Amino acid sequence: MSLLADLLTTLSARRAVPFTRGTREPTPIKALCSELMTSRGEISAATLARQVLEKYAQMGDKARKAFFVYLAESMDLDKDALRAALDAYADSHDRRTYGRLMEAAQPTRQELIRRLNQVPGATGRLVEMRADLLRFAPEDPRLAPLDLDFRHLFASWFNRGFLVLLPINWESPAHVLEKIIAYEAVHAIHSWEDLRRRLAPEDRRCFAFFHPAMPDEPLIFVEVALTRGVPGSIQELLAEQRAPLRAAEANTAVFYSISNCQAGLAGISFGNSLIKTVVADLSRELPNLKTFVTLSPIPTLMAWLKETAQENAAADPAALRALAARYLTEVKNDRGLPCDPVARFHLTNGALVHDVHPAADLSDNGLAQSGGAMVNYLYDPNRIGPNHERFVTDKTVVATRDVRGLARQAPRPAIPAAAGQAGT
């Protein structure tokens, strides 16, 4: 781990060449892009790429959106060339015709993005650029193909083979710890002392994926509590005055918070690899660990209860627990998948619904989203593969007998359950 950290630090120093935000280039950004696409020299191409990224950094939202529209419309596929290349390949399946087809099937803007990425530090800039694009795309359908281009390239650039898993602890660099505080998306970190309680004790762990091109930026991180037995509330895990447990005495690893850090990498999945890698690492470090579970929110539960006129049930712990079990295991969206996005994430990754707890998150956010209920998803290393196959093949929600029994006890509302049906 130390060697990898040193490597990332070296890469950071080498790649983090600052962009000059104050420089005003006289050439419009569209002209710079055209020059970049026709440039043949490596040095001139790098200079043009830097100028494009600097020019973009100086733009306001209106100009940025116009730039995206330009890329979407003026650097689209050449449909005539694509038809001709496809016809040629249909007539002759050889290297030459296939090469022409591959070239024609790629819009010019994909190559532009690749050329922009040759500048040191550009990968992070392009991730930020896509974050802007994702803000504009919902209101302008013309931008959807451009987003698919970014997503296609990022899926390759950020595949698991390039990612480095590093532990985050109280001795990690301050700038990384500051980002952990800022990016925590599930249970807010309110102070440095709050962060210390999550990182310093022997029974706490945190792991993050980094990419060599963005060595100072975590992509996703998971916070882990080592416990004896499966916990039933986040208050129990994050209590200020709790007595730390010796790691060797723990038999359970609890993944209680998973946070994606980069808005521009939305849709690029890291969570599956992160959990599996952390399970494997913890198993090697602490063979006494036998159970790997989450303590997860149910962010769309209250919306469903309100839509089905059952929100009053949140005041009754037993009724809330039963309704949450039913919601997680039976209520589906229009694609036949669980409405809850966290459930879809963990079930896709091969977990099963292990238990449901009322009064598990009494924070304002927890009460607003789920009436305070939380759920354990169990990652059994021997069943992750079969569970994953059952879910992705026939959409089976794997759950324990106890959870199935709870679901059968829940009331059956007359109003159709539709909350979350537009979920991903």
Q: Which pLDDT score is estimated for 25?
A: 47
State residue 421's pLDDT score: 44
Q: What's the pTM value of the predicted model, to 2 decimals?
A: 0.87
Q: Are strands 296-297 and 374-378 parallel, antiparallel or unpaired?
A: antiparallel
Give the integer Cα–Cα distance in Å for 113 and 116: 5
Write down the CATH number for the domain with range 29-157: 1.20.140.90
- Three-state DSSP at 383 gives coil
Mean local confidence (pLDDT), 329-339: 95
Percent residues over pLDDT 70 in the chain: 91
Question: Domain locations in the chain?
Answer: 29-157, 161-294, 296-409
What percentage of residues in the chain have a pLDDT greater than 90? 85
- Does residue 272 or residue 410 have the better pLDDT? 410
- Whole-number average pLDDT of the chain: 91
pLDDT at 14: 46
Residue 112 has pLDDT above 50, yes or no: yes
Tell whether the model's pLDDT for residue 424 goes beyond 50. no
Average confidence (pLDDT) over 32-49: 92
Q: How confident is the model at residue 61 (pLDDT cuts 50, 70, 90)?
A: very high
Q: pLDDT band for position 16 (50/70/90)?
A: very low
Q: Residues 245-260: pLDDT tens digits? A: 999 999 999 999 999 9
Q: CA 377, CA 269: separation in Å to the nearest integer? A: 18
- Neighbouring residues of 111: CB distance < 8 A, sequence distance ≥ 6: 37
In whole angstroms, what is the distance from residue 309 CA to residue 331 CA?
A: 15
CA 405 vs CA 262, 317, 376, 408: distances in Å: 39, 16, 16, 5
pLDDT of residue 26 exceeding 90: no
- pLDDT of 30 reads 96
- The predicted-structure confidence for 205-242, as pLDDT tens digits, reads as follows 999 999 999 999 999 999 999 999 999 999 999 999 99
Q: Which CATH architecture has domain 296-409?
A: 3-Layer(aba) Sandwich (3.40)
pLDDT tens track for 70-97: 999 999 999 999 999 999 999 998 999 9
| pLDDT class of 416 with cuts at 50, 70, 90 | low
Same topology between domain 161-294 and domain 296-409: yes
Average the pLDDT over 105-120 and give the result: 95
Identify the CATH class of 161-294: alpha beta
Owner of token pair 């959807």: 144
